[in-house]
Every structure is written in C-alpha cells, then in structure tokens.
Structure 1
Amino acid sequence: MRQTMEKAAIWTGHLARLALWSAGTGLVLMTVLIAAQVVWRYILNDSIIWTEPASVMIMGWFIFLGAAVGIREGYHLSFDVLLYMLPLRAKLVLYSISDIAVTAFGIGMIWFGWQLAARTAGNVLPSLGISGAFDFAPLVAGGILIVLFSIERVLRRAAGLPTARFGEDPEAA
C-alpha cells in the first residue's frame, strides 16, 4: 500500500499544483477585469457589462481550488490546542477524524452544488450569455478535489506516510 500511495501522491501533487496555478491565474485575471472595468467606467465613461459577473465567477474558482489545495497541504482551519498535549498516535487518529469530516463536507459541496447547478441550468446569465449552472461549477469541482485530497491524506496516514501537516510524521512514533 505504501508504494501505491507514494505514486498516488505524485499524481495528486501534480493535480494540486495545477489547481493552485489555475487559482493564481484566476486571481490575476479577476484583478485585470476589475481594473479594466474601473478604467472603462471612470476614465472612458463607458462600461463593460460582462466583467463583474465574470469576475465573480472566476472568484468562485480560485476560492474553491485554493481551498482544496489548502486541505491537501494541511492548511485548512482547525482547532489544534488539544493536539499539542497528546501523543503522536492520538494526534494521528484525530487528524484522520478531521479529514473524514472534511471529506463529508466535500461530498456535501458536490451534492448540493450539483443540485444548484441542475436547478439553474435553464437560466441564462444575461451579461455572459451562458447557463446559470456555470456559477456552481466551482463548488462541484472544489468539492471533488476536497474529497480526493482528504481521502489521500487518510490513506497516506494509514500507509505510514507523512502528510503535509507539520509534526504529523508517523515514522517518528
């Protein structure tokens, strides 16, 4: 299992890097669109009608992609005060419980995001001319990555491999 998880970690690492670069590119693109809107509105006294909804949609992508990568790298929110006083084995169990809870949250993101997308698929976003379902695509994609990365963390821990979280090296026990 250890060798399989090491290979899987390489694949998910590439996926995380792609998601992070996409999120960073989206952040830059959103900034450019907002800057263009400001220039057009206040300097050229005109308006580009599609920049605001496009920026909001791009923001959804970089938020959810960045959050998924943060979960893979162990930067998601947690309350670690108790963990500083526990032995390593207990920490690993609690980390796994946390990752399972995050997996459940990711499944909820996929499930409810998909329902929202299905309900808005017939609507057309007026300024972009695309289906309203595209507004919820980042929620579903981010949920898929969160589930994948959380399961990877649990399986890596079960295989005795370190995860990205500081102080969580099972081989040190």
Structure 2
Amino acid sequence: MHDSHDFDQDDDQYVSKSQLKRDAEAQQALGNKLVELSTGKLDKIPLDDELRDAIALAQRIRNKREGFRRQLQHIGKLMRNRDTGPIEQALYQLENAHHEQNALFHQLEKHRDAILGEGDAAIQVFLDTYPSADRQKLRQLYRQAQKQQQQNKPPSAARELFKYLREVATV
C-alpha cells in the first residue's frame, strides 16, 4: 500500500506550518527590535541597503498606524530572505555591552568605596586588578578625599577618584 503523503523521504525538508509561522514571527520581532534602535546603534549592525532603507522608512512613519504596521510586516518579509545570524549576533553584542558597562560601573563604585574606607589595602587590591594604575595618584586622591570629608567639604576628590578608576579600567 502506498500512502499519498509519504514524508519518510522528505523528513529533512519538511517544516510544519506552525514552525514556519513561529519563524516568521521571530523575524518580525527581530525587525521590530531593529526599528527601535537609534541610528548610531543601527550603524553597528550589518544590514544591506534594502533592509536599512525599510527600517529608516518605518522609523519615519512610526506615528502613521496602518502604514507603520504594514512597513513592519514588510521588514519581517525582508528578514525571512536573509541570513539573520550576523544581525542577531550584533544585536546581542549591543545589548550585552550595556550590561557589561553597568557591571563595570558598579565594580568601580565598590573599588572607590573600598579605597575611601580602607586606604592602602584597597589601593593595593585595585592595583592587583589594574596594574597600569598609578599608586601615587590613587594615594593622593585618597588623602584629598579624607581631608575634604573631615572638613565637611563637597566630595570632589572622591568624584575625581572615581573618574580616575574609570579611566584606568576602560583603557
């Protein structure tokens, strides 16, 4: 007996309608994320001219409801005909750069607070992590911050210390 739908031969190529729909929705969502990006961030993503123009148009007509919706669908359709791996990778890196920067910022705040609270021991910990830092400058900023705190002056040296820590850490 022959089955009219013999999928055994085509198993590798068969994709359900549901899967096709999920893939299309994922491409649409990726297109939506791209439309939400600023021009500076979009420049960091590998897009061909046709896709870049479609995104720019969607950004310009954002307040035209029906036209914007159709343009987003068009972007989704364009995305389905492209390898979106590099686009997704670039988007992931953009999103994670922000998280990494926040984590570094918090780490530097902890170093600053430790230096202001513990002095030389915390300076040594920072120098172990960032050997390019200048011990003398760190100690000088620490002493200035202590002096300002004792005199109830604004903590300009503490802010200067943080700036220096950030400068050393982001080189």
In the superposition, the TM-score normalised over structure 2's length comes to: 0.29
The answer to which structure, 1 or 2, has the higher relative contact order (CA under 8 A, 6+ apart) is: 1
TM-score (norm 1): 0.28
